[in-house]
Structure 1
Amino acid sequence: MIKTKTSDDKLDTLLSRSVVPIIDLAHCGIEEIPVKSVVNRVGHQLHRVLAEKGMALLVNHGISDEKLKTAWDHLDDFVDLPPNVKQHYIRSEGNHHGYKSRELNGNFKGKTPELRHAFNISTLNAQNLPEEPLPGFADHISTLANDFKALACFILQALAVSLDISPTFFLEKHSHMLSDDQENMSTLRMLYYPPVVDDEPGQNNVIERRCQYSYQRCLSNQPDFRPEHDPREEDELNELDGTNGQLFEHKIGNGAVIRCGAHVDYGTFTLLAQDSEGGLEMKLPGSEKWHRVGHLPGAILLNCGEILSIWTQGRYPALQHRVVIPEQEHIRARGRHSIAYFCHPDNITSISPNDLPNPDAVKDTACLKQRKKSFKAAKERVYNACQLISKKFRDTYSNNNHSQ
C-alpha cells in the first residue's frame, strides 16, 4: 500500500533551504518588444545568480500550468498508442527529432538502464508530429514550443545585459531555433518517467500508468508578457540566496535503474518545467556533492549549458545534474513528467572564450600580447556549435540522448 505523505516525509532540498535563486519575469513584455527596464533588471539578476549558483527558478514566465499539463496528457496518449503506430515517430540515427521509448534509453556509459519515455521536437513541422492518431497534438505542442522559444529569446537578451555586450549578440547567434536541426539543434523535449514500486526489497518495478499531477494553476492559458502596470525597479530582486545551516549530500542507492544519468547540458542554457518533485539533483558550483533541487509549482528552472560556460570563460558554470528514483514511496509511485527546452546557438556559430570581454583580465601590455599569442595558437581549434555539440555527444553518450 502506498503511504500518505506525512511531516516525516518532508524532503531536504536546495529550495527548502533557500539556496535556489528565484527571478520574477512579470510584465516583461512580448518577444518582439520586451520591456527594456525589465530586461535590464533580469539581466542584472542573472549576472549575480548564474555566477554564484549556475541556475535560477523563473516565476511569472507566462506559460500556464494548464498548457503544460495538456502537453503531458498528449505525451501520455502517445505512449499508449500501439507499437506499430509509435514506430513511425521513432528517432532515427543522426536525427534529433522524434520519440525514444523506455526500452531504448540507457545510461551515459551504457551500464545502467534509464526509465523514461522522451519525444524531441526540433523542427516545427506537422508532418513530423502524430496529428493523425492524436488530433490536437501538433497544434498544441507547436504552440507550446513557440512559447518556450519566446521565453528563451527574452533570456538571451537579458544574458546580453548581464555580460554588458550588444543586446542583440545572442539573439543573432540563435536566430534559427526550432526551424531545422540542420541549422540549429534547439529542442523541446517532453519526458515521462513511469511510476516505480518495490514488490520485493531491492527490486524496482515499473508501472505503466498515468501520473498524479501536482499543479499551481495559472489564470490564463495563453502567454501574456504585456505590461499591466509600471515595471518593477531595476534593483528589485525577488530571490532566496542564503543557506539555512549545512547542506547534506544525497547519495544514490545501489539499485539497478535510474531516471537520468549524471551529465551537464551542452547548449547555451536549458529551461525545465516539471509536474512534481521527482528526483532532480544537482552539484553546486565548486562542489562534488549531490543535492535534491526541490519543486516550486509554476516555476521553470534555468540552468547554464557548456556553451555558455565556454563563452563566459567559466563565469557562468554548467552544473552537473541527474534524475534519481525518489526513495519516498508516495513520490516514486506517482511517476514524473517534465518538459525541457534546450537552447542552442545556430550550428554555424563559432564558439570561443574570446568572443566576449573578460572583465577580470589584466590590462597590461604584456598580458595583452600573451592573450593575442594564445588566441592565434587556439584559432584553428575553435569549434562551431554543431561540431562542439556533436563532439560532446560522441564523448559522453553511448548511442543515447539524455535530459532531465
Structure 2
Amino acid sequence: MLKTKTSDDKLDTLLSRSAVPIIDLAHCGTEEVPVKSVVNRVGHQLQKALSEKGMALLVNHGISDEKLKTAWDHLDDFVDLEADVKQLYIRSDGDNHGYVSPGNERFDGKTPELRHAFNICTLNVQNLPEEPLPGFTDHISALANDFKALASFILQALAVSLDIPPTFFLEKHSRMMSGDHDNMTTLRMLYYPPIVDDEPGHGQNEVIKGRCQYSYQRCLSDQPDFRPERNPLEDEPDNMQTNGKDAEMSEHKLPNGEVIRCGAHVDYGTFTLLAQDSEGGLEVKLPGSEKWTRVGHLPGAILVNCGEILSIWTRERYPALQHRVVIPEQEHIRSRGRHSIAFFCHPDNITMISPNDLPQTDAEQSTTCLKQRKKSFKAAKER
C-alpha cells in the first residue's frame, strides 16, 4: 500500500527549501512593445536559473488565476461528455492536436499514464469542441494567446541571456499555434484524476492497491480531504467496464501494483511553461543530480523549464530538465486530483537547430582550442 503521511506533515520540496529561483515579470510591457530594462533583467535572471537549475518560477506573468480556473472547468466539462462525443475530438495518428484518453501514453515505454489530456495546436474552431461546449473556443483561444505572448517575452529574454540579438529566437518561433504541420507548439490541458487506495473492507471507496477511480468529482473543492458520497462505477458496472476507451481505464490495476501520473522524461521543445492548480506530485532531477525531488506549489506561479532543443542550441548551458508526476504519498493530496496547463514552446518546423548558431563562451572556446591542438599534435606525430 502507498505510504501515507498525515496532513500535518510539512512537505519537503525545493520550494520549501527556497531552492527554486523566482522571477518577477511585473511591468514587462506588451508582446509588441516589451520594456527593454525588464527584458534585460529577466534575461540575466534566467541565465543563472536555467544554467544552475534548469527551471524557474515566474510570478506576475499576467495570466490570471480566474482564466486558468475557467479553462480547467472547460476541461472538466469535456471529460464529463459521453464517450462517443469525446471520440470526435480524439487525437489522430500523425497529428498532435486532440484529446488523449487515460492510458494511451507511456513516456517510460511500459506504464500507462493515468490522465486526461487535450492538446491544442491550432485555434481553428473546427478542431475544438465548441458545439458540445459553447464558449470553449473563445476562452481557450484567449488563454493560448496569453501563453503565446508570455512565451514570446521569454524568447526575447533568453536571447539577452545568451548575448545574441533579442529577436533571434522570436524569428525562429514565428508560427506558434499555427498547427503542428508548421510548428509543434502546443497548449496541453491536463487532468490527473484522484487516486483512492483504500484496502478492501475499509471504507465506502473500496479500491485495491494500484487501482484508480476516475473523475467523478471536481478537483477545486474547498475541502482538501473531500471524498464523493457516491461512486458512479457502482451504478452501472456493466456499462462502465465494457464500453469505450474511458470505460477501459475507469479502474486500472497495474501488474506490479504501481501507478504513475506521468513517466520520467524531458520535454523536446525549446522550453515549457506549466501552470498547475495544486501540489500534485511533480518531481525533477536537478542538473548534475540523480535524485528525484518534489518541486512544490507556489499558487499563481508558472514554472518554466528547459527542453532538449534549447539544450542543443546552447551546448547544454541550459540543460533539459528531467521530470515526472508521481502519485503523492500524502492521501489528502492524491485523493483530490490535479489540473495543469502546459505550453510547449517549439521553433518553426523549417528551423535548422545548430549549436553553431550561438557564440561560444570563453570556456567553450578554450576547450575547443585545446581539442583542436591535441588533434593537430596527434596528426603531426603520425606524419
TM-score of the two chains, using structure 2 as the length reference: 0.82
The answer (yes or no) to whether the contact 1:213–1:276 under 8 Å persists in 2 is no
* CA displacement at 1:8 relative to structure 2: 3.1
| 2:209 maps to which of 190, 195, 202 | 202
Q: Name stretches of at least 5 consecutive residues in structure 2 with no aligned partner.
A: 200-207, 223-255, 376-383
Q: Name stretches of at least 5 consecutive residues in structure 1 with no aligned partner.
A: 216-253, 374-404
* CA displacement at 1:49 relative to structure 2: 1.0
* CA displacement at 1:364 relative to structure 2: 7.4
The answer (yes or no) to whether the contact 1:116–1:193 under 8 Å persists in 2 is yes
Q: Which amino acid aligns with 1:41?
A: R
Residue matched to 1:136:
135
Shift in alpha-carbon separation, 1:162–1:80, aligned structure 2, 3 A: same
Residue matched to 1:378:
none
Superposed, 1:3-402 pairs within 5 Å as 8-109=8-109, 111-200=110-199, 202-213=209-220, 255-361=257-363, 367=369, 370=372
In the alignment, the residues of structure 1 paired with residue 96 and residue 323 of structure 2 have an alpha-carbon distance, to the nearest angstrom, of 21
Q: CA RMSD in A?
A: 2.3
Shift in alpha-carbon separation, 1:360–1:335, aligned structure 2, 3 A: same
The answer (yes or no) to whether the contact 1:304–1:317 under 8 Å persists in 2 is yes
Deviations 1:3-50 (A, max 9, x none): x99663321100000100000000100100000100000001111111
Q: Which amino acid aligns with 1:117?
A: H
In structure 2, the residue corresponding to 1:50 is in which secondary structure?
Answer: helix
* CA displacement at 1:360 relative to structure 2: 2.9
* CA displacement at 1:211 relative to structure 2: 3.3
Q: Which amino acid aligns with 2:164?
A: I
Deviations 1:203-261 (A, max 9, x none): 4322322333289xxxxxxxxxxxxxxxxxxxxxxxxxxxxxxxxxxxxxx64210000
In the alignment, the residues of structure 1 paired with residue 78 and residue 309 of structure 2 have an alpha-carbon distance, to the nearest angstrom, of 33
In structure 2, the residue corresponding to 1:127 is in which secondary structure?
Answer: helix
Q: In terms of mean alpha carbon deviation, does 262-271 or 199-208 score higher? A: 199-208
Q: Which has the larger radius of gyration?
A: 2
Shift in alpha-carbon separation, 1:363–1:62, aligned structure 2, 3 A: closer
In the alignment, the residues of structure 1 paired with residue 320 and residue 165 of structure 2 have an alpha-carbon distance, to the nearest angstrom, of 23
In structure 2, the residue corresponding to 1:23 is in which secondary structure?
Answer: strand
TM-score of the two chains, using structure 1 as the length reference: 0.78
In the alignment, the residues of structure 1 paired with residue 221 and residue 163 of structure 2 have an alpha-carbon distance, to the nearest angstrom, of 39
The count of aligned residue pairs is 331
In the alignment, the residues of structure 1 paired with residue 209 and residue 22 of structure 2 have an alpha-carbon distance, to the nearest angstrom, of 37
In structure 1, the residue corresponding to 2:196 is in which secondary structure?
Answer: strand
In structure 2, the residue corresponding to 1:8 is in which secondary structure?
Answer: coil
In the alignment, the residues of structure 1 paired with residue 118 and residue 34 of structure 2 have an alpha-carbon distance, to the nearest angstrom, of 31
The answer (yes or no) to whether the contact 1:157–1:170 under 8 Å persists in 2 is yes
In the alignment, the residues of structure 2 paired with residue 298 and residue 150 of structure 1 have an alpha-carbon distance, to the nearest angstrom, of 17
In structure 1, the residue corresponding to 2:343 is in which secondary structure?
Answer: strand
Question: Identity over aligned residues, as a percent?
Answer: 80
In the alignment, the residues of structure 2 paired with residue 361 and residue 61 of structure 1 have an alpha-carbon distance, to the nearest angstrom, of 34
* CA displacement at 1:117 relative to structure 2: 0.3
The answer (yes or no) to whether the contact 2:192–2:261 under 8 Å persists in 1 is yes
* CA displacement at 1:370 relative to structure 2: 4.0
Shift in alpha-carbon separation, 1:15–1:188, aligned structure 2, 3 A: same
The answer (yes or no) to whether the contact 1:44–1:161 under 8 Å persists in 2 is yes
In structure 2, the residue corresponding to 1:74 is in which secondary structure?
Answer: helix
* CA displacement at 1:323 relative to structure 2: 0.2
Q: Which amino acid aligns with 1:168?
A: T
* CA displacement at 1:180 relative to structure 2: 1.8
In the alignment, the residues of structure 2 paired with residue 257 and residue 281 of structure 1 have an alpha-carbon distance, to the nearest angstrom, of 15
In structure 2, the residue corresponding to 1:204 is in which secondary structure?
Answer: coil
Shift in alpha-carbon separation, 1:362–1:260, aligned structure 2, 3 A: closer
The answer (yes or no) to whether the contact 2:115–2:191 under 8 Å persists in 1 is yes
Q: Which amino acid aligns with 1:157?
A: Q
Shift in alpha-carbon separation, 1:368–1:174, aligned structure 2, 3 A: farther
In structure 1, the residue corresponding to 2:57 is in which secondary structure?
Answer: strand
> Relative contact order (alpha carbons < 8 A, sep ≥ 6): 1 or 2 greater?
1
Q: Which amino acid aligns with 1:207?
A: Y
In the alignment, the residues of structure 2 paired with residue 193 and residue 207 of structure 1 have an alpha-carbon distance, to the nearest angstrom, of 9
